[in-house]
Structure 1
Amino acid sequence: MAINFDKALGIHQYTLGVRSRRAEILASNLANADTPGYKARDLNFKEALLSARTGSGLSLSRTDTTHRVGHTFSMAQSNEYYRVANQPDTGDGNNVDAEVERNLFMKNSIEYQASLDFLNSKISSLRTAIKGQ
């Protein structure tokens, strides 16, 4: 009998990728906290997770089988958006609030770890079932 990994691992296999992408975006916000004109970005987790589960990402067409698979990138396709500022503009056009970004980054890290723990538990259960213990 074949193992259906979607049923066995649940949604956690997809949340890891989305949480990882969100960590990159939040880290980019923190790194650019002092960059004039930089606008804070974030990820719509629900839409990104749905895209990951359905595989509805947009990919580039290949004209030859030897070409590598490429993917387009735009904020709309990756479910990113510019975050509404919590603070008034400081005059340089940057709307990154470092405290907010650090808090969101830590929350995302905790949620990433939780997904890892759930996934590890599922894999341990599969390993036990395969061994017949």
Structure 2
Amino acid sequence: MIDKLDAALRFSREALNLRAQRQEVLAANIAHADTPNYKARDFDFASRLTQAVAQGRGGASMSMATTSARHLQGEASAMPDADLLYRMPAQSSIDGNTVEMDAERIAFADNALRYEANLTVMSAKIKSLLAAAQQ
């Protein structure tokens, strides 16, 4: 039963995890807007989501040690910096910084909106599963 629930929610879970990771990357870009020679980073969300769903989890993971065979396996996904891509600026700056605040703010707001939409979809899916279980 748990496997079926996991399969039903896997796509939404992976999408939410990747949206949260992308929000961290975009926030780091905004935070370093005035840092000389800082290179803006991002990743291709669609390809990362396809890869994460195909693997069944969010890329590389770290697992917790267990002391009993009956313990649940806890995992945390880790996004290596090697997967991050550099963003090409439309206009270069004198100090070598490639962060463009307008583009970063737009990407940040778009990602936040899509995160909220994913939460709404996942919430509706959970409600429908609960309704089906109660009948």
* TM-score of Structure 1 vs Structure 2, range by shorter chain: 0.7 to 0.9
Q: 1:37 to 1:106 in 2, by over 3 A?
A: same
Letter of the aligned partner of 1:104 in structure 2?
Answer: A
Which residue in the other structure is 1:81 paired with? 85
1:95 aligns with 2:101: no
Which residue in the other structure is 2:123 paired with? 120
Letter of the aligned partner of 2:35 in structure 1?
Answer: T
Q: Displacement, 1:71?
A: 7.5
Q: Displacement, 1:65?
A: 7.5
Q: 1:74 to 1:13 in 2, by over 3 A?
A: closer
Alignment root-mean-square deviation, CA? 2.8
Q: 1:1-133 maps to which residues of 2 (within 5 A)?
A: 2-3=1-2, 4-9=4-9, 11-53=11-53, 54=55, 55=57, 57-58=59-60, 74-76=80-82, 79-88=83-92, 90-132=93-135
Letter of the aligned partner of 1:57 in structure 2?
Answer: G
Distance 1:47 1:117 in 2: 22
Q: Which runs of 5+ in 2 are unaligned?
A: 68-74
Q: How many pairs were matched up?
A: 126
Q: Displacement, 1:20?
A: 0.3
Distance 2:52 2:77 in 1: 14
Q: Which runs of 5+ in 1 are unaligned?
A: none
Percent of pairs identical after alignment? 39
Distance 1:17 1:58 in 2: 13
Letter of the aligned partner of 1:39 in structure 2?
Answer: K
Q: TM-score, normalised by structure 2?
A: 0.79
Q: 1:27 to 1:56 in 2, by over 3 A?
A: closer
Structure 1 or 2: more helix by fraction: 2
- What stretches of structure 1 move > 6 A for 4+ residues in a row? 69-72
Matched-pair contact (CA < 8 Å) for 2:60–2:77: yes
